[in-house]
Amino acid sequence: MKVVPESRVHSGELREELTHALSFHFGAKQPIRNLHRRRSNYSSSNTIENLQVELENGRRLGLIFKDLSPTSLLEAARQVRPQFVYSPQREIQIYRTLLDPARFETPVCYGFVERPDIERYWLFLERVEGPLLWQVGRVAVWEHSARWLALFHSHFAHHRPASGTDLTRFGRELCTRWMNRAEEFLQPQWGARSNGLLKQFDLLARKYERVIGPLLSMPQTFIHAEFYPSNIILGGTGPDKRVCAIDWERGALGPGLVDLAALVSGSWTDEQKKHFVAVYRNSLEPAGDWPPPINEMLELVDYCQLYLAVQWLGWAEDWSPPKSHDQNWLQEAVRISKRLGLLG
């Protein structure tokens, strides 16, 4: 069982900041009658708590308190997360300026605390109840998620985020950086044994410019950057469940197919993968020569899945992702490279 550390946030400070945030959100003073805190077992990088709030007017709110402050970074994340991907302000800015719950069904942001002088960065979000996408096997739900993603990308293709938003910029430097890190972290394994996969990965590294080209050729939009099924809550009870994407701390400007590649990762057959890609493609708003024919789009998704495999290999030395999207990423990188004809 994962041990979740005690919060460093005093209840009095939390109540004060939350009262101020809720008062601003509702446009009137909102005294808190009762506040119950419970640590969340879903804390992966930063401390997360479930809050049950009762206001003086009798209203009850179920909230998520996400502490993005540098001091709240969990020790496991502190040891492995690359420093260049971390920005405590990013997710706050995304909720403040980009995510409209009425349009995208993302969690309602009830408030935030942004205090650079004391390095305090807090988010108060709606707690959405429901299973994660990976826990639901019905194809219709995955199709619904693919359609949601296409509409989301289409919107931001026409409404680009403001230049001041602290989003990661997808480009040649980022792609090269992940490959350089992957090579560095895999290098020590050469001395232990002769590994055919490592030799093939070394060949891929020397040909990686042939991967970067297609990645940079795709139109860019606002992307989640980790649109894995473990980051999608399915809310509601009807057939068209609420697709609620969470954990936006790595939001970026990049190819929308990076998100689709994450969504269709896993043990799908080629036909199933093609089906979900087609659902996404048919839901996009056409713009110029985009989207391309289905077979070309499938190939571009392969390039994006290869990019993600290299990213995970370059994340940290001697590390594996959470079980929810863990794979043999070296084997996956080689498999996709062969499929793309990069390794002969």
Q: Kindly report, residue by residue over 64-80, the tens digit of the pLDDT.
A: 999 999 888 776 666 67
On the question of a cis peptide bond just before residue 322, with omega within 30 degrees of 0, the verdict is: no
d(CA 28, CA 55): 12
> What CATH number labels 11-126?
3.30.200
Q: 11-126 with 133-339: one CATH topology?
A: no
d(CA 307, CA 156): 22
In angstroms, the first-to-last Cα distance of the chain is 44
Question: What is the predicted pLDDT for the residue at 42?
Answer: 72
DSSP-derived secondary structure letter, 3: P
Q: Kindly report, residue by residue over 11-41, the tens digit of the pLDDT.
A: 999 999 999 999 999 999 999 999 999 998 7
Q: Which CATH architecture has domain 133-339?
A: Alpha-Beta Complex (3.90)
d(CA 248, CA 90): 8
Q: What is the DSSP string of 278-289?
A: HHHHHHSPPBTT
pLDDT at 173 over 80: yes
Residue type, 214: P
Kindly state the percentage of the chain with pLDDT values over 70: 90
Grouping H, G, I as helix, E, B as strand and the rest as coil, residue 18 is helix
Q: Kindly report, residue by residue over 130-171, the tens digit of the pLDDT.
A: 999 999 988 999 999 999 999 999 999 999 887 767 899 999
Provide the pLDDT confidence category of residue 2 given band limits of 50, 70 and 90. Answer: very low
Taking Cα atoms as reference points, which of 248, 257, 270, 229 lies closest to residue 142? Answer: 229
Contact 95, 248 (CB under 8 A): yes
d(CA 138, CA 73): 35
Taking Cα atoms as reference points, which of 52, 9, 48 lies closest to residue 247? Answer: 48
Tokens representing residue 146 in the block: 């693919």
Domain regions of the chain by residue span? 11-126, 133-339
Q: Does the predicted TM-score (pTM) go above 0.85?
A: yes
